Structure formats: structure tokens, C-alpha cells
């Protein structure tokens, strides 16, 4: 799944403004001097933009009765600050508490925990968090896609394909799911299936640099260097600031230095004369 690393790192199915917008602080927590719902939304926004400040703000709010919602904001601030291990552990602790009466909320927090563990490099714990989330929200497409990533990172490629099959059966217009499934098929040496998935991903998201990079690398491995160079060049030309472009340029440079393969029957590389 190396070619999809950049896409995986950009992917975040649990954006604060989307997945966590479903939370509201119980009126029972409210005190006349503190609007806890407003504090919660403000803290979530701050956690994404300025996580260090959000940690301080959440602690102040916690001291004023913010409770588990303030702790949730702290965990998310830690995530955005890059402390993925601590964030993952805290999110897992909060999921059964805040999701006690709301399975969707619990699944959302566990999904964020899974993403934290992925970013921390603990793919086993990430898969466990996603599986717990899927137990609360069976068939959730985003959770299936993210668990597939965790499974692929531990080289359980067939299990990853199974999750992606299930996700695409529910929503066949998810280009990232086709791309991840293509990467899994490539790892399994199923190049024909991989290319079919890449074609579908590019139909849904034309010019996607990560899909083009994966396609180019499959072409190169199959010996189609001109086709690979065409894709690498397209990435560099059309998405010059992407991570895929950096890899594509390195591949172009490497291929330019590679010796020209000798023609069959001529060890020196000159074309064999045609037979009369």
C-alpha cells in the first residue's frame, strides 16, 4: 500500500465539524455562568486550528464543569497536536461514556480513535477500534474503508479487500475505496483487478495523482516504462505540489538514468538486424 500512503494520511472520515457536530451537552450540565454547548463548539473549532490553545481552553472549561465533553475536546486537541497515542487512548476511554445512549456518537469517537492509532503506527489497535465502532454502526462505509487501511497496513490484504468490497457495495461512487482496493490487489499481485479499480477511481476523480501514481508503478513493474513515464509526467505537470508529484519526479529521474534494455539477441543493446 506504499503508493497510497499520502492519500491515507490526507483521509479523515471524522472531521470535527461533521462527525462530532452530532454531540450536544446535556442541559443538566449547564450552569448559569457557562453555556456548555457554545464552549463545546468553540473548543472543537480551536482544537483543529490551534490545538495548544485548545488544550488550555478545555482545561479551563473542565474546571468550570465541562465534564466529559471538555475531556473529549482535550483528546481531539492532542490529536491535532500530533500526540496520537495519548489521543487514541483517551478517545477509547470516552467512547463508552459519551456513546452510552447514542451508538452513532460512540462509533464516531471510536472512529476518531482508530484514526489516531493509525497515525501513531499501531495498526492492530486501530483495527480493534474500528471493529468496535462497526459493532455499533454495522455497514458504515467510512468505518469499513478506514478498517481496510488498518488491515492492509498489517498485510492482511484479503481482509482489506473484503472491507472495501462491502463499502463499495453500499456506495459505489467512492474513488478512494477503489484506489485502496487497487493497492491491495497490487500487493496480492492481482494487477488486472488493480488496474480495473484504478480506472474506476479515475472515472470518478479524473486526474487524481495518487491513482495515476499507482497505475504508473504497475505499468513500470510490468515493463511498460513509456506508459509509466507518461503517467508520472502527467502527475508532475498537473499536480506539481502534491506528494505524488515528488515521487513521480524521482521515478522519472531514476528511469532516465536506467540503461536501455538490450534488444533480444544483442547483448550490447543494438537492435538486431531484420531477417531478409
Distance CA 38, CA 111 (A): 24
Is 118 contained in some domain? Answer: yes
Is 101 contained in some domain? Answer: yes
- H helices within the chain, ranges in order? 5-10, 16-19, 36-49, 51-61, 67-81, 84-98, 103-120, 123-136, 141-153, 157-170, 175-187, 191-204, 209-221, 225-238, 243-257
**In a 3-state reduction of DSSP, which class is residue 24?**
coil
Q: Which three cell numbers stand for residue 248?
A: 513521480
Contact 197, 185 (CB under 8 A): yes
Is 114 contained in some domain? Answer: yes
Is 17 contained in some domain? Answer: yes
Which whole-number Å values give the CA distances from 61 to 112, 128, 218, 220, in the listed order? 22, 31, 52, 56
Is 174 contained in some domain? Answer: no
Which whole-number Å values give the CA distances from 234 to 91, 99, 202, 213, in the listed order? 41, 46, 13, 10
Q: Looking at residue 36, what is its pLDDT?
A: 77
Distance CA 111, CA 127 (A): 10
- Most distant CA pair in the chain: distance in Å? 99
Planar angle of CA 100, 72, 142, nearest 5 degrees:
70
Q: How many domains does the chain have?
A: 1
Distance CA 116, CA 178 (A): 23
Q: Looking at residue 254, what is its pLDDT?
A: 93
Q: Looking at residue 16, what is its pLDDT?
A: 41
Is 248 contained in some domain? Answer: no
Contact 68, 101 (CB under 8 A): no
Number of other CB atoms surrounding residue 234 within 10 Å: 17
Q: Looking at residue 110, what is its pLDDT?
A: 97
Is 167 contained in some domain? Answer: no
If we measure between CA atoms, which residue out of 142, 212, 137 comes closest to residue 179? Answer: 212
Residue 31's φ and ψ, nearest 5 degrees, are -120, 155
Q: Looking at residue 200, what is its pLDDT?
A: 98
Range of the domain at 72: 2-138
Q: Looking at residue 268, what is its pLDDT?
A: 39
Is 162 contained in some domain? Answer: no
Residue 34's φ and ψ, nearest 5 degrees, are -130, 125
Question: Residue 119: which CATH number?
Answer: 1.25.40
pLDDT averaged over 10-residue windows placed end to end, the chain, 276 residues: 55 46 51 72 91 93 90 95 97 95 94 96 96 97 96 96 98 98 97 98 97 97 95 97 96 83 42 34
Amino acid at each position: 500500500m506504499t503508493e497510497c500512503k499520502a492519500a491515507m494520511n490526507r483521509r479523515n472520515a471524522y472531521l470535527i465539524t461533521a462527525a462530532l457536530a452530532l454531540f450536544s451537552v446535556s442541559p443538566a450540565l449547564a450552569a448559569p455562568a457557562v453555556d456548555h454547548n457554545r464552549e463545546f463548539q468553540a473548543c472543537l473549532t480551536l482544537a483543529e486550528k490551534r490545538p495548544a490553545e485548545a488544550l488550555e481552553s478545555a482545561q479551563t472549561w473542565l474546571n468550570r464543569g465541562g465534564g466529559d465533553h471538555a475531556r473529549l475536546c482535550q483528546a481531539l486537541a492532542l490529536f491535532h497536536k500530533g500526540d496520537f497515542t495519548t489521543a487514541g487512548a483517551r478517545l477509547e476511554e470516552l467512547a463508552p461514556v459519551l456513546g452510552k445512549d447514542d451508538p452513532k456518537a460512540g462509533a464516531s469517537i471510536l472512529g476518531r480513535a482508530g484514526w489516531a492509532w493509525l497515525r501513531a503506527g499501531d495498526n492492530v489497535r486501530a483495527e480493534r477500534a474500528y471493529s468496535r465502532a462497526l459493532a455499533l454502526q454495522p455497514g458504515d462505509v467510512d468505518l469499513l474503508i478506514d478498517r481496510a487501511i488498518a488491515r492492509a497496513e498489517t498485510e492482511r490484504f484479503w481482509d482489506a479487500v473484503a472491507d472495501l468490497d462491502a463499502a463499495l457495495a453500499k456506495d459505489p461512487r467512492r474513488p478512494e475505496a477503489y484506489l485502496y482496493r487497487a493497492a491491495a490487489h497490487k500487493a496480492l499481485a492481482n494487477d488486472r483487478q488493480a488496474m480495473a479499480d484504478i480506472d474506476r477511481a479515475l472515472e470518478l476523480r479524473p486526474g487524481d495523482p495518487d491513482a495515476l501514481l499507482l497505475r504508473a508503478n504497475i505499468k513500470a513493474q510490468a515493463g511498460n516504462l513509456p506508459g509509466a513515464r507518461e503517467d508520472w509526467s502527467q502527475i508532475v505537470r498537473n499536480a506539481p505540489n502534491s506528494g505524488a508529484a515528488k515521487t513521480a519526479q524521482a521515478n522519472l529521474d531514476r528511469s532516465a538514468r536506467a540503461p536501455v534494455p538490450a534488444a533480444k539477441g544483442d547483448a550490447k543493446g543494438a537492435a538486431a538486424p531484420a531477417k531478409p
